[in-house]
Structure 1
Amino acid sequence: MYSNTNTEHVVLLIFWMVVVLFITFHIQSKNRSIYIPNQTVAYAAIRPNPSSFGITRHQHLIQDKIILSLEEHDDIHKLYQQEKDFDNCSTVSDTIQNARIDSFPLVALASFPRSGNTWTRHILQIASQYYTSTVYWKAERHKPNAPYFRGGEYDYNEKRGICTKTHSGDKEVIDCFSAGAILIIRNPRKVAVSNVMHQKITNEDSRDDELRTRVQHIRNNTDKWRSRSLGIIKRWKNLYTSWIEHAKRVLVVHYDNLCENTYDELKRILNFLNLPINGYYIQCAVDLKPCHLHEYFDFQPDYPDEYDELIDKLNQTLKDKKLPPLPTYSDHRSRFIDDQNKHEPRST
């Protein structure tokens, strides 16, 4: 009797082992693309191989998620556009996670202030479903936008964030980021104006009036503006030059390109970070957080002649390192619109 019972137990054990092996084989099969209706995670991604500099992905980063390998990520983009009932983008911001300690290598998200760092963090978090971090975590965890960047609740050295915000170009800061940096570079003319326009607004209800006052102040103080804007572009050029020359590895992202082609630029950034390319989440990031180019009335300040020289020097540094050169900043002034005339018909 006991012998028969033991035999039955052995048979059942073998049976379930075969079932588990069968299921495991199918889950881990490569180059499979599966369409799962009515599930947000249907657009999942290839699990990337470790990069050449030795990042090892931790298994816990993908627990409780369906991972589907896809040969062509662009097909996901097309499928998303066709299947509008598949769109659950309203909830993707709620599912962003804080990773565990030592989940990611230290990669900087470096930029000069007013170059799109905050917006880039927003879309990266949606696209990756993990929070970014910041070197300013002690101060920024108390800011009004802190709930959107919960990675900033922790010391960035804990390596919970997929990348870390910084506006510093100091070499000691650069050396902290052993896995390199993503550089967001924006037209310095627009950066200079944005720095003035986005200083603390004292009353949101009178925002436009305050901005008009600032515009008028610059018009009435041309010499002071030219001196200040020259200081801004010198710091702009020095910051990026320092990162290009000292960082372990660099991905250059031009702000104009990120605004105009957000989907493909996000794929580039995620690939640099050695993260899954998830077409569904990327498209949700594009839809939920589109790029907004601020336009400030009929404001066309003069810029010092040194601007062009400094821009050319940074551009040459990029070329020497075989990095993407700067876009052609042909406007030579920030792009502005006269809000009183923008609805009038154009003269022919």
Structure 2
Amino acid sequence: MVIGPTLRLKRKKRRGLHVSSSYSRRSPVASSDNGQLVASLRALVGVVVVVAVMVVGGVHLSRFDASHSIPELDQFVAVNNTKTAMTKKLNHVQWLSLSDNKSRPIETIQLNYTRKSRRLWPEDPPCSWAEVRFGMRLGRVWLLSFPRSGNTWTRYLLEAAAGIFTSSIYNSSHLRTLGYLGEGEPSDSGTTLVVKTHSLAPLTRHPHLPVVALVRSPARAILSYWNYNNIDMKWRKFAGSVKTASYKTTGFHKFVWEKLEKWRWTYEYALRNTTRLHLMYYENLREAPLREIRALLAFLGVKPSEARLACLARHLEGGVKGAQREVLPYSNWEMVDIQGAVAQVDSLARERGFPPLPDYSRYKN
């Protein structure tokens, strides 16, 4: 049976199709317009998805370029204190994989732009852009030291150079008021670059994690620790001093004997029981802070920003660097024991391929 035009039209109407006439087909022009509309909508949806991915969490995924230089810092001075692309660019942090081919792009470390940040030097116009933020999905690294060995100052230098907060297992409210916002952050949160500890317990529980061990002369560190323990007011503990008469007490000499053993065992354990270790000497850090911080950043896998380092060179002291004392109130026997502990740690450091400990007799404080 031959189906006529009228019958075709009736069947299409029953199926819910709309046609303009018995034999009408889609106009080639209308079909082309609809195709362009669909393509435009698809492109728009794609753009929205990409923008949403980049905005969520404040994650920036730009690739490495080597433009973080001093000229860039000079260029920024003209737009100081403005929220520009330059501000964000200067505050980006990049991973540096030492084993990677140099031609490979390097991903930007993810920063959390939803949490509170710290502006480092707001009163210095050329450097007022520099800020410190929490990171995201960072690995744990212990910053180990005997107390009063420059750990907090090292954290300041590292935060300023990298733009990422550091944390501590001790949660000092005093340090938090001074801008160390990482205090109290859980050590496994993945939000800070290193975690301060004077205890070996974290190393024994996590022997596979990287360790940065900061070593200072035991004679100077123990003396500073005695002063810290015997000052009541928190705000004076970091830079204050006790009366020299306290060095002649039995309590002081007992303190020296106990803490010297702790100093020796802290670094002996780290040198014998860690697989990924970076040894830093406080005396070298004082003499050449930027050089030592560069080496530390390399160990952590962070590409240094030359603009940040240029600003850090203008603000090396920080706010918590302790008092420097020239007196050494130790007995002859105590000095012999101190030299013996230094020799033990020095021997182990050489065995691991590290440079020898500094000649501490060269330093007056």
TM-score (ref. length: structure 1):
0.69
Q: Which residue does 1:231 correspond to in 2?
A: 258
Q: Which residue does 2:338 correspond to in 1?
A: 307
**Structure 2 SS opposite 1:159:** coil
Change (3 A) 1:226 1:174: same
**CA displacement at 1:302 relative to structure 2:** 2.3
1:318 aligns with 2:349: yes
Q: Which residue does 2:118 correspond to in 1?
A: none
**Structure 2 SS opposite 1:252:** strand
1:176 to 195, 203, 206: 206
Where in structure 2 are the equivalents of 1:56-71 lying within 5 Å? Answer: 61=110
CA distance in 2, matches of 1:206, 1:32: 42
2:95 to 40, 43, 48: 48
Where in structure 2 are the equivalents of 1:90-129 lying within 5 Å? Answer: 91-92=129-130, 95-100=131-136, 103-129=137-163
Q: Which residue does 1:274 correspond to in 2?
A: 301
CA distance in 2, matches of 1:183, 1:206: 26
**Structure 1 SS opposite 2:312:** helix
**CA displacement at 1:228 relative to structure 2:** 2.4
- Letter in structure 2 aligned against 1:180: P
CA distance in 2, matches of 1:13, 1:204: 62
Q: Which residue does 1:68 correspond to in 2?
A: none
Where in structure 2 are the equivalents of 1:1-348 lying within 5 Å? Answer: 1-6=29-34, 28=63, 35=72, 37=76, 38=79, 39-41=86-88, 43=90, 47-50=94-97, 61=110, 87-89=126-128, 91-92=129-130, 95-100=131-136, 103-137=137-171, 140=172, 143-147=173-177, 148-170=179-201, 173-176=203-206, 178-199=208-229, 201-202=231-232, 211=241, 213=243, 215-219=244-248, 221=249, 224-290=251-317, 292=321, 294-296=323-325, 299-303=327-331, 304=334, 305-331=336-362, 335=364
CA distance in 1, matches of 2:184, 2:314: 27
Q: Deviations over 1:43-97 (max 9, x none)?
A: 57784354669xxx98660588xxxxxxxxxxxxxxxxxxxx97124x53xx321
How large is the RMSD of aligned CA atoms in angstroms?
3.7
CA distance in 2, matches of 1:120, 1:289: 10
Structure possessing the higher relative contact order (Cα contacts under 8 Å, 6 or more residues apart): 1
Instruction: Check whether the contact 1:108–1:177 (CA below 8 A) recurs between aligned residues.
Output: no
CA distance in 2, matches of 1:279, 1:245: 35
**CA displacement at 1:239 relative to structure 2:** 0.3
Q: Which residue does 2:116 correspond to in 1?
A: none
CA distance in 1, matches of 2:65, 2:110: 19
**Structure 2 SS opposite 1:150:** coil
CA distance in 2, matches of 1:62, 1:202: 38
Instruction: Check whether the contact 1:106–1:163 (CA below 8 A) recurs between aligned residues.
Output: yes
**Structure 2 SS opposite 1:241:** helix
**CA displacement at 1:107 relative to structure 2:** 0.7
Q: Whose helix fraction is larger, Structure 1's or Structure 2's?
A: 1
Q: Deviations over 1:110-163 (max 9, x none)?
A: 0000001111112211221111122224xx3xx222242222333112222111
CA distance in 1, matches of 2:261, 2:284: 23
> What is the identity percentage for the equivalent residue pairs of Structure 1 and Structure 2?
19
The number of equivalent residue pairs is 288
Greater radius of gyration (CA): 2
Q: Which residue does 2:7 correspond to in 1?
A: none
- Letter in structure 1 aligned against 2:214: I
Instruction: Check whether the contact 1:106–1:177 (CA below 8 A) recurs between aligned residues.
Output: no
Instruction: Check whether the contact 1:184–1:252 (CA below 8 A) recurs between aligned residues.
Output: yes
Change (3 A) 1:260 1:192: same
- Letter in structure 2 aligned against 1:266: I
**Structure 1 SS opposite 2:279:** strand
- Letter in structure 2 aligned against 1:270: L
**CA displacement at 1:185 relative to structure 2:** 0.5
Instruction: Check whether the contact 1:45–1:277 (CA below 8 A) recurs between aligned residues.
Output: no
Change (3 A) 1:225 1:41: same
- Letter in structure 2 aligned against 1:306: D
- Letter in structure 1 aligned against 2:211: A
Gaps of 5+ in 1: 20-26, 65-84, 337-348
